[in-house]
Structure 1
Amino acid sequence: MAQKQGVASMLAVALVLGTFAAIPRGVESIGVCYGVNGGNLPSASDVVQLYKSNGIDSMRIYFADQNALNALSGSNIRVIMDVGNENLASFASDPNAAAAWVQANVQAFPGVSFRYIAVGNEVAGGDTQNILPAMQNVNNALSAAGLGNIKASTAVQSGVTAGFPPSKGTFSADYMTPIAQYLSSTGAPLLANVYPYFSYIGNKAQIDINYALFQSPGTVVQDGGNAYQNLFDALVDTFVSALENAGAGNVMVVVSESGWPSDGGDSASTGNAQTYNQNLIKHVGQGTPKRPGGMEAYIFAMFNEDRKDGAETEKHFGLFNPDKSPAYPISF
């Protein structure tokens, strides 16, 4: 009885301190996505030095960029590397294709601190059926190469979830539940691209810009015992609830993209971009109401990219200009 009471006491203390093992805990880390769809961008070696000189400890690259991988070798910058969406079908159907890619782009760069492989980014249409088998084959290839510490996942956007408030979050896309359960079995996180900017401009009648910019003076959404003072937390916790409802509550959420444009459209200004990104940097140490503690997030993006397709705002998410000058003051 005394032993049981001791265990009960320890559990009570753990719950109070927020260290109960059933609640996944992240590490506090802020990275920046390195896109290359711009003219006159610096060399990859100069980019790595720019990361280091600004204290940016993590990078996401969107393909197996050999120049970037060579520059990253020995840098201790942690890396998410994407498998391009165009590779999913072959990787899903042919384990050897996945193994060859791992050998050429991961195993060949032992000096790079790979953290995750993103098997597809915001995959849409018929290719969604290829995500899980491609991810499985990449994971198997990593394990066979003795690189099981590198986790394979996929990057998704908020449109794969539905439900409000955050506690009602579910996956609206059928293919997501088996992916979530697979991630649960491998210990990999779900990579989520989270953009309060797009949520805000899509629903300005109901969303206050201060809520989107981490500037609300108090609670905006009360969800049971959880109080939401910013839209970022609400979007992330919608993913958390969706994972829980899919039977994968042990899966971490890593924010693989988030940012705010400085020009090119509605509410896109250097002031708003600076406010959002600086507040995001400050916020990662707090976590969310459902997952308090440190979290891992990546700002999109390192540079303004004038060759990007889509809306004009897509060209203006950069923290830096091609000449390496800041697009606006920002501190890591």
Structure 2
Amino acid sequence: MVSWWIRFMSLTVALLFAIFMAISVEAIGVNYGRNADNLPPPSQVIALCKKCGIQSFRLFDPSHDILEALRGSNLKVSIGVKNEDIQTLASNPSAANQWVSTNVAPYADDVNIQWITIGNEVIPGVEATLVTQAMQNIYNAKSSILGPTDSIKVTTVMSMAGLRNGYPPSNGVFSDEIVEVMRHVSSFLAQTGSPLLINAYPYMAYASDPQHISFEYATFQAPSPIIDGNLKYFSLFEAMVDVVNAAMEKIGFGNVPILVAETGWPTKGNEPFTSIENAQTYNQKLLSFVQSGKGSPRKPTQPVDAFIFAMFNEDKKEGIVEQNWGIFNPDMSPIYPLFPC
């Protein structure tokens, strides 16, 4: 009787652990940039993601060859609107209808499209004031074409450069030039139940100011926290998320969740800050943090989902650092162990 109970409990624990891992791993994704001339075909890339347990996949533009390869994969997909298309989509609802009809509708039945992102880091920037109208036009188009029950979220991806203060996190506030833009953007996101996407790179902050930012704090390994009121920060990643949360609260939209569209660590080009070991440390700790389901100190019950930048090194980018953010080689072997492939 006792041995039966032990076997039953062991199977139950194993099952619960498997369920937990299946749920939590969905929070981590990869960015699929293709500014390279040596990458494998999309079908092989999608197969690699499935083999490695990667559950989310971010595209910077609506590449049809990739969308075709994604059919039936069940990967959660984010499709980007290119920055240069924002003005047309904001000013012309028929162009938004055409964009959705061409890039979303043909794939909606068997590609798990979760997000449409209007631009990448156009806030702050000259096109920032166009983002809300472009989001609205794309949202109206998808609702009309796909039906009112469609669940695809329309959002945008902002740069941390839009924050005026970043330390301590509770002092986070949007810069004067984008406060009104962010009020309009956030109002749309709140009304449609969409997250705000941000690009957060602790590497860049650490490499630019190693005298005041420790490697341990930049890589989720701080032995003691930075204190902000009654909140404790053991990682710069969490602090970056909460800088944005604090800024959103100050404009009245603290209920809008934050999703990290890009984060990662380069493997070469700026030694000693860049190395395979440093990149592996950061991304492994990031993976553990995301899969834990923990939120940031400011929002501890709201898990922080993230996309690692990037799937592959991109040899056509300018500069050694920019070329070396990948977690896989072009032959699809891992640059360093990260996922259970």
TM-score (norm 1): 0.89
Kindly provide the CA deviation profile for residues 91-115 of structure 1, in whole angstroms up to 9, marking residues without a partner as x.
0100110111011111110211011
Q: Does 1:153 align with 2:155?
A: yes
Residue in 1 that maps onto 2:321: 313
Contact kept, 8 Å, 1:171 with 1:177, in 2: the verdict is no
Residue segments in structure 1 that go unaligned for 5+ positions in a row: 1-25
Contact kept, 8 Å, 1:27 with 1:295, in 2: the verdict is no
* In 1: Cα distance, 2:339 partner to 2:85 partner: 36
Contact kept, 8 Å, 2:233 with 2:239, in 1: the verdict is yes
> SS of 1:292's equivalent?
strand
Residue in 2 that maps onto 1:223: 228
Contact kept, 8 Å, 1:197 with 1:260, in 2: the verdict is yes
Report which stretch shifted further, 156-165 or 294-303: 156-165
AA in 1 matched with 2:276: T
Shift of 1:157: 1.3
> SS of 2:104's equivalent?
helix
Residue in 2 that maps onto 1:203: 209
Shift of 1:249: 1.1
> SS of 1:330's equivalent?
coil
Shift of 1:28: 6.0
> SS of 2:295's equivalent?
coil
AA in 2 matched with 1:118: T
> SS of 1:282's equivalent?
helix
* In 2: Cα distance, 1:259 partner to 1:112 partner: 26
Q: Equivalent pairs: percent with the same residue? A: 44
> SS of 2:127's equivalent?
helix
* In 2: Cα distance, 1:206 partner to 1:184 partner: 36
* In 1: Cα distance, 2:251 partner to 2:67 partner: 35
Residue 43 and residue 127 in structure 1: after superposition, are their counterparts in 2 closer, same or farther (change >3 A)? Answer: same
Q: Does 1:168 align with 2:199?
A: no
TM-score (norm 2): 0.87
Shift of 1:286: 1.6
Contact kept, 8 Å, 1:181 with 1:246, in 2: the verdict is no
Residue 42 and residue 27 in structure 1: after superposition, are their counterparts in 2 closer, same or farther (change >3 A)? Answer: closer
* In 2: Cα distance, 1:125 partner to 1:238 partner: 20
Q: Which has the higher contact order (CA 8 A, sep 6+)?
A: 1
AA in 2 matched with 1:296: D
Report which stretch shifted further, 87-96 or 264-273: 264-273
> SS of 1:275's equivalent?
helix
Kindly provide the CA deviation profile for residues 121-164 of structure 1, in whole angstroms up to 9, marking residues without a partner as x.
00153211211111110111111121631111000111111322
Contact kept, 8 Å, 2:25 with 2:54, in 1: the verdict is no
* In 2: Cα distance, 1:72 partner to 1:182 partner: 29
Shift of 1:27: 9.6
Q: Does 1:243 align with 2:248?
A: yes
Kindly provide the CA deviation profile for residues 214-257 of structure 1, in whole angstroms up to 9, marking residues without a partner as x.
111121x1111110001000000111111111111110000000
1:38-117 equivalent positions in 2, closer than 5 A: 38-109=36-107, 110-117=109-116
Contact kept, 8 Å, 2:26 with 2:55, in 1: the verdict is no
* In 2: Cα distance, 1:276 partner to 1:138 partner: 36
